[in-house]
Amino acid sequence: MQIVRTVIWVLLLAALLVFSAFNWTPVEVKIWQGLVLETKIPALVIVAFLLGLLPMWLLHQGSKWRLNRRISSLETAHRTAVANAAAVPPPAEPTHDADSGSLAGETTERPKDTL
């Protein structure tokens, strides 16, 4: 996967270099009434691309950070639950009372029928 990513970045860089070579002409950008910026077209393209990319990249990084925190908290809660479940001893099995024929602690009386 890293190779594919590297190839894509190299192709984008090559396309940007070809674009820059064929469009290396000065342009005037009027920023305010008395302020004019003279720059080359490739610089404008790169700055516009970065201005559009930066907010989306920051949003992506924030979402990734939030989800990683959520995953780690869920993993911690799961580890705690597993550790607590392993620490609790299993319930004791009921013993059989040989004299009464029932399990110890059980009553042999039947509930009264109510109408």
The per-residue pLDDT for 86 is 77
Query: Where along the chain do its domains lie?
Result: 21-83
H helices of the chain, where?
2-22, 41-87
pTM of the model: 0.58
> Which of 9-23, 60-74, 101-115 has the lowest average pLDDT?
101-115
- Report pLDDT digits (tens) over 30-48: 988 989 999 999 999 999 9
* Interval 11-40 mean pLDDT: 93
Q: What is the dihedral of CA 8, 9, 15, 21, to 10 degrees?
A: -160
Tens of pLDDT, residues 45-100: 999 999 999 999 999 999 999 999 999 999 999 999 988 887 777 677 777 655 65
